[in-house]
Structure 1
Amino acid sequence: MKILIALLTLILVSTGLKAQYLEEEQGLVSRYRPGAMWFYSGFSNYDTTKLRKYDRLIVDILYNDWQGDRSPLKSPWSSIGFNVNVMFDVPFTKANTIGLGWGVAFSHYNNRTPIGFESNYTEGSTTTFPLIFPNNLDWSKYNANYIEIPLELRFRTKGYQHFKFFVGGKIGYQLNAYTKTKETIQGKSYKFKNYNFPDRNPRRYGLTARVGIRNWSVYAAYYFSGLFTHENSVQLSPITAGISIALF
């Protein structure tokens, strides 16, 4: 909740600034910064000869789901995760209408799944089974954290209030993966974590796309890599979609 309140405050600040600098519509260079960090120039004055650069610090708030042996859109809408992307914006044209974005990202995948995971350590595989609610079980979720390298080809229209379309992909490495459950037993709540997946897939790669205006966009990612590697394991690949704000 605190994170959402902070993001909302930043969004309101960034949106409220747009009317003050309409003279920037036709310019190719600017001493102003985009987004919620509009006035930030670091420890020295901003170089007015530099091209405007955008989408260098991007936060994605995402609905997390998966596809494969389980049909998409079956996960609860409370399956909310996030990405934090630190990017370099590399212009190819003088007006920065075509460019490249690359950098590093931290991704948190969160799926409040109604299924449980069962590991076969003899075979080295992972299967699933349906969970029964409530039956003392309050909720269950699957979490995974990644470090990723995103790469985007960026297209924008001219001007301050520009339309943008980014398409690209990302590759990443899984830091950890676990299930977490909360149970109520005789009036007391207990939380349990399980990290023991014998065939978790540490590699992740997929396609990404962003469409939006100025520092707002809609984001989606489709991953080709499965969560588990054994041929007899459940076949699940993450998919995510949500909204993004470029803070800098």
Structure 2
Amino acid sequence: MRLFLSCFLFLSISNVFSQEKTAVESDSKVKIDSLYREDQFYFGFTYNTLTNKPADLSQSKLSTGFSGGFVRDMPINKNRTVAIASGIGFAYNNYNQNLAIYKSDQAPTYSIIDSETSYNKNKFSQILVEVPLEFRWRTSTYESHKFWRIYGGLKFSYVIHDRSIFQDAQGKIIVTSNKDFNKLLYGAYIATGYNTINVYAYYGLNSLFKSAKIDGEPIVLKSLNIGLIFYIL
């Protein structure tokens, strides 16, 4: 009888502990799943080109861009494979080309540097605050952060600093805070890849300039930036 009672108590206690462990594991999984988001820091490196170029305008050397920021993920389906996201970041874009920007008493002036003119450097650069608004599709789960993704949407950028440099043997001309630049820029972008490394492309939908002209013709340069973007949880 004592042996029977001992076995009965042991099995009862074991069953209680087993049920409690299962309940804890179940609650833990539900909690993790309910909080699962792809909030991410991002860092990007791009090769920058210009479209809608005036006649004889060409790019020289390598034009690069760098960006970084944080994006908040908001899943919209039960499996959390579809989401919308937004955030904030900063970007630096540099464009080497032969559009010279000179100082003037009234406003900057513009001209195309011909092939016979010798110069050391000619470029303009911008520092921007970025606000992306994107639609996301991915194959992620709350158990794994290695997955395929396609992210795309619109990006709104505000220019907080701009700088143009022309340098030749006679000296250097620097123009900053050029009012002819569009302060607010926007464009469409897409990023796709697996895990951390992704291919990225951005196309500007409005012109980098709002009022610059060459010989009375408006300069309607738009940016096309292609490179890599890295997402880090």
TM-score (norm 2): 0.72
Structure 1 stretches of 5 or more lacking a match? 1-29, 32-46
Q: Distance in 2 between matches of 1:77 and 1:155?
A: 36
- Give the structure 1 partner of residue 113 of structure 2: 130
* 1:210 aligned to which of 182, 188, 191: 191
The structural deviation recorded for 1:209 is 0.6
Residue 149 in structure 1 maps to residue 131 in structure 2: yes
The answer to whether the 8 A contact 2:102-2:175 is kept is no
For 2:81, the aligned partner's letter is T
Q: Distance in 2 between matches of 1:49 and 1:83?
A: 31
Q: Distance in 1 between matches of 2:113 and 2:92?
A: 24
Residue 164 in structure 1 maps to residue 146 in structure 2: no
Q: Distance in 1 between matches of 2:77 and 2:83?
A: 7
The structural deviation recorded for 1:174 is 0.9
Residues 119 and 197 of structure 1, relative CA distance in 2, 3 Å threshold: farther
Which has the higher Rg, Structure 1 or Structure 2? Answer: 2
Q: Distance in 2 between matches of 1:74 and 1:157?
A: 42
Q: Distance in 2 between matches of 1:84 and 1:131?
A: 36
* 2:180 aligned to which of 194, 199, 212: 199
The structural deviation recorded for 1:57 is 0.5
Q: Aligned-residue CA RMSD in angstroms?
A: 3.0
Residues 157 and 77 of structure 1, relative CA distance in 2, 3 Å threshold: farther
Percent of aligned positions with the same letter in both sequences?
Answer: 21
TM-score (norm 1): 0.68
- Give the structure 1 partner of residue 81 of structure 2: 97
The structural deviation recorded for 1:235 is 1.4
Aligned length: 197
Q: Distance in 2 between matches of 1:184 and 1:212?
A: 46
Q: Distance in 1 between matches of 2:114 and 2:175?
A: 15
Residues 241 and 173 of structure 1, relative CA distance in 2, 3 Å threshold: same
Structure 2 stretches of 5 or more lacking a match? 1-27
The structural deviation recorded for 1:192 is 4.3
1:202-244 CA-to-partner distances (Å, cap 9, x unmatched) read 1101111111111211111111121221274311112211001
Residues 55 and 139 of structure 1, relative CA distance in 2, 3 Å threshold: farther
| Bigger fraction of residues in helix | 2
* 1:53 aligned to which of 37, 45, 50: 37
Where do 1:1-248 residues align within 5 Å? 48-49=32-33, 51-54=35-38, 56-70=40-54, 74-76=58-60, 78-118=62-102, 127-130=110-113, 135=118, 137-159=119-141, 160=144, 161-184=146-169, 192-195=173-176, 197-230=178-211, 232=213, 233-248=218-233
Tell me the secondary structure at the aligned position of residue 69 of structure 1. coil
